[in-house]
Chain A
Amino acid sequence: MDARLRWRKFVSNFMLAMTGVCAVVSVLVLFFILGYLLFNGGTSINWDFFTKLPKPVGETGGGMSNAIVGSAKILLLASLIGVPIGFLGGVYLAEFSGKGMASVVRYAADLLNGVPSIVIGIFAYSLMVLPMKHFSAYAGSFALSLMMIPITLRSTEEFLKSVPRMLREGAMALGASKWKTIATVIVPAAYRGIVTAILLALARVAGETAPLLFTAFGNRFDSRGWSQPTATLPVMIYTYAVAPYEDWHRQAWAAGLVLLGLILVINIVARTILSRGIAVPRS
């Protein structure tokens, strides 16, 4: 009996220790990725990386200024399309909709959120690239905005719904109409959460490669305007990593470091804003 109890206690401690090992291993992966990128990217990053265009194959040096600008352009346009649709759609879900319509919209958003990014790419290709007959920053932005919409929509809805009833009723009691209540009381009360959600959506699409492969495509040069093929950081990392040139690998590491740094900073900032709490005490 005693031996059996000792055995059970041993199993208990052993298995619990193993779960700890699992947790530590999983978290260590993050630091491993960061460390490796810092090591490899840090040694290859320099001022040229940010300011110069890619050099032709065979010549060493050069940078990815076109891809940095391209990524910024596409992310900006994607936010301009995706955020208003997601935000206003979320307002509708939280404040105006009846049951039937709301569940349809919610279902559609969840479905869209689960679509593999490469399929989003196909959709943007057949909707934008085929009619326009060439790859463009427009098509890339459209593809990324499709991925931002469901995230923004669902979190806007959630944060608006978490605003206490008292605030709503207070505004109504003072004679404000519904939309005035929403615009001047409810949205300001929930804005932190909404901004966080938008930032997280932006960080999520900033690293997307698959939907850009056949929408924004890529470009070895600066692209003027929005209707030309445009280079982006994630696509550059992909092309450079699978190419057989040593110098390109170096640049891929540098680009990876810049991209991951950007995404992690956005994530940390957004999560810090959120953890400080929504401006309103929850009832």
Chain B
Amino acid sequence: MATTSTTLKGAGPATGSRAFFAKLRNGDEIARLITMVFAATVVLITVALVLELWTNSALPRHKFGLHFFVTETWDPIMDNYGALPFVYGTLVTSIMALVIAVPLGIGAAIFLAELAPPRISDTLQFFIDLLAAVPSVIYGLLGVFIVVPLMRMVIYPALNKPFGFLSIFKGPSYGVGFLTAGIVLAIMVIPYIISVSREVLLSVPRDQREAALALGSTRWESTWKVVVPFAKTGIMGSIFLALARALGETMAVTMVIGNTPKIAASLFAPGYSIAAVIANEFTEATGDLYLQSLIELGLVLFLLTFILNGLARVLIIVTTQKGSTVNA
């Protein structure tokens, strides 16, 4: 039977319906249709997700409009909701995470891509991959029992005494707060920065390095002034990717940020993040407006990560393609 179909195909363009039935008979068309249904399911789910978030946040969108993002009050009793403290907390913790994680991550990636012999580089990368697999609740657990006491007893005195006059280091410390969350987030996103940056650095063509060395630059100069600039856009991509992770991270942040909906200049003050408020209050939200305000926060989170992930992907693709075209 299979042979018949091959002959049919080879015989030239048969009329549409006859070719279709021939394919149906030998199973190809059936297989195509079945797998297509499953592939379409993925599209359907994604569309449903966006629609569901959009329609279920209609109430606060109509009631508060854009004021939702600039209002500081979060008052379930008066049924009045503003997202500013959460947006602020999410941004502050994520930016702090990047400030810590970017130098460390890129440094480690340079070592893995430029310096380490392939075997060592691969072994270390294996450990980095395992690190990326550690679930966030475990980071939260260690955050609560290690980073929080460490913060209260070591980091806070060390920063508050000499720099206490700066408003970002002012005030008392409870251990939990923006800085604690930032540190935990930094540890969580480092593996992502390393993995992607290493990949991008490895795609930089060899001649770039050799040309720089031949002109008399030291190893570091060739790395920092030639290789890294070449891979710059890709590294930016890895940072956006890390930022998207940090923004959406829930459990670890919820456990160490202090869960207080206030905007404070001090990094030691407790705060709140978008993901954390959803995690904490979603099951307790009474009333449609309360619940839908939380869903709108989810929508905001979705849009933010959507934009960042898209940007990251474009940047990474552009860089790796640049490497291969120069090679050719």
Contacts and interface: CB of A to CB of B under 8 A. Distances in A.
B42 A96 contact: no
B52 A27 contact: no
Interface in A187-241: 200, 203-204, 206-210, 213-214, 217, 234, 237-238, 241
A267 interface: yes
B21 interface: no
A57 B254 CA distance: 23
A30 B131 contact: yes
A38 B317 CA distance: 40
Contacts of B294: 122
B295 interface: yes
A29 B248 CA distance: 22
A161 B298 CA distance: 36
Main secondary structure of the interface of A (DSSP, over half): helix
A149 B45 contact: yes
Interface stretch (B70-78, B150-158, B162-170, B186-194): B186-194
B107 interface: yes
B46 A111 contact: yes
A123 B51 CA distance: 10
Size class of B's contact patch? 35 or more
A268 B307 CA distance: 33
Contact of A26 (B2, B48, B142, B191): B191
A138 interface: no
Given A104-B43, A110-B313, A263-B133, A213 B115 contact: no
A112 B42 contact: yes
Contacts of B249: 116
B306 A111 contact: yes
Given A8-B218, A213-B282, A108 B46 contact: yes
B250 A117 contact: yes
B190 to A, nearest CB: 5
Contacts of B48: 123, 127
Contacts of B236: none
A209 to B, nearest CB: 4
A204 B133 contact: yes
A249 B52 CA distance: 37
Interface stretch (A45-53, A60-68, A72-80, A172-180): A172-180
A201 B247 CA distance: 22
A278 interface: no
A263 B135 CA distance: 8
A108 B5 contact: no
B111 to A, nearest CB: 4
A119 B248 contact: yes
Size class of A's contact patch? 35 or more
Contacts of A13: 220
Interface of B: 2-3, 5-6, 26-28, 30-32, 34-36, 38-43, 45-49, 52-53, 56, 103-108, 110-112, 114-116, 124, 126-131, 133-138, 140-142, 144-146, 187, 190-191, 194, 218-221, 223-224, 244, 247-251, 254-255, 275, 278-279, 282-283, 294-295, 298, 301-302, 305-306, 309, 313
16 contacts: A22-B103, A22-B105, A22-B106, A23-B108, A25-B108, A33-B142, A89-B42, A105-B40, A112-B49, A117-B250, A118-B250, A122-B53, A153-B39, A175-B6, A177-B2, A234-B251
Given A111-B306, A122-B294, A210-B251, 13 more contacts: A26-B128, A33-B142, A36-B142, A37-B138, A89-B38, A101-B36, A105-B42, A108-B43, A114-B306, A119-B301, A209-B251, A238-B137, A259-B137
Interface of A: 8-9, 11-13, 15-16, 18-23, 25-27, 29-30, 33, 36-37, 40, 84-86, 88-89, 91-93, 95-97, 101, 104-105, 108-112, 114-123, 125-127, 146, 149-150, 153, 172, 175-180, 182, 200, 203-204, 206-210, 213-214, 217, 234, 237-238, 241-242, 249, 252-253, 256, 259-260, 263-264, 267-268, 271
